[in-house]
Amino acid sequence: MSEQQTFEWRPAKLLQDYNVPQEFALLILNQPLRLGSNLRKLWKNSSMRVAADGGANRLHDLSSFHGKFSNLQLIIGDLDSLTPLVRNFYTSQPSPATIIHDPDQESTDFGKAINWIRKEHPAGIDIVALGGIGGRVDQGLSQLHHLYRFQSDPAYAQGRIFLLSGSSLTFLLKAGTHQIQVRDDGEHDVFGKHVGIIPLKEPSIISTQGLEWDVTDWQTEIGGQLSTSNHVLPETQVVQIKTDKDVLFTIALKQVDGDDHE
């Protein structure tokens, strides 16, 4: 494999407890929210909070909602899902949310929200999108498609996009070498052991270190060999992945009692 760029990842930092906001945007998609303590941490940590159309409904419907997630800054989309009740709630807050109606039917609400966030941060900003991929297959594939479509730059010049569900964190590894810190002394342990490396777009050649079943110069493709349900070794702090093409990396979240109900 030829010499390529090296990237460092510290994804657990998204879900740590901080006293000041971090520089990333939180994007709520129109999918069920069952993130419990992780949602509260992301809400507190993020510097910008945006809902894609019906994502505002999902946020409002949380059983523990009132008083916790009211300071939404923007709702954007074709607004065919946003209910009048939810619209009125967010626009009547002390710091009311901005509502942007974008009727373009050639783009998704997810894409509209990403474009707006990036226009507000032309120097680049990371985005954490909340949305499960366990529902309709076409919706799940669309969310994964967005990770590819909106990260075409080989060096993530516009920022990195993370897709967080109630059970896993997924992000795109560009061609190169990736050092992914999955554990760190002094930090809250947020990840489980299961990982997957998925070449969704095209066949890839990967090498890994730190997994139970490591591979070297291993060809992987949809319909061929796939590294799924692999395990992070108990002693591993950094997983290294080399790839010659873009691949999806997904890692399980450590489940905490009560998270599905908060």
Q: How far apart are CA 42 and CA 193, in angstroms?
A: 22
Tokens at residue 132, please? Answer: 């499960």
Tokens at residue 151, please? Answer: 């990260």
262 pLDDT more than 60: no
- 129-170: per-residue pLDDT in tens? 997 676 678 888 889 999 999 999 999 999 999 999 889 999
Q: How far apart are CA 1 and CA 44, in angstroms?
A: 41
**Residue 202: what pLDDT?**
96
The sign one gets for the Cα dihedral 59, 152, 211, 239 is negative
What's the mean pLDDT in 26-40? 84
Question: What torsion do the CA atoms of 25, 30, 35, 36 make, to the nearest 10 degrees?
Answer: 100
* CATH architecture of residue range(s) 6-261: 3-Layer(aba) Sandwich (3.40)
- 219, 205 Cβ separation under 8 angstroms: yes
Secondary structure of residue 15 in the 3-state scheme:
helix
- Domain extents in the chain: 6-261
**Residue 248: what pLDDT?**
97
Using alpha carbons only, give the angle 161, 232, 215 rounded to the nearest 5 degrees.
Answer: 90
- 102, 76 Cβ separation under 8 angstroms: yes
Q: How far apart are CA 252 and CA 214, in angstroms?
A: 18
Give the model's confidence band at 261: pLDDT under 50 very low, under 70 low, under 90 confident, else very high. Answer: very low
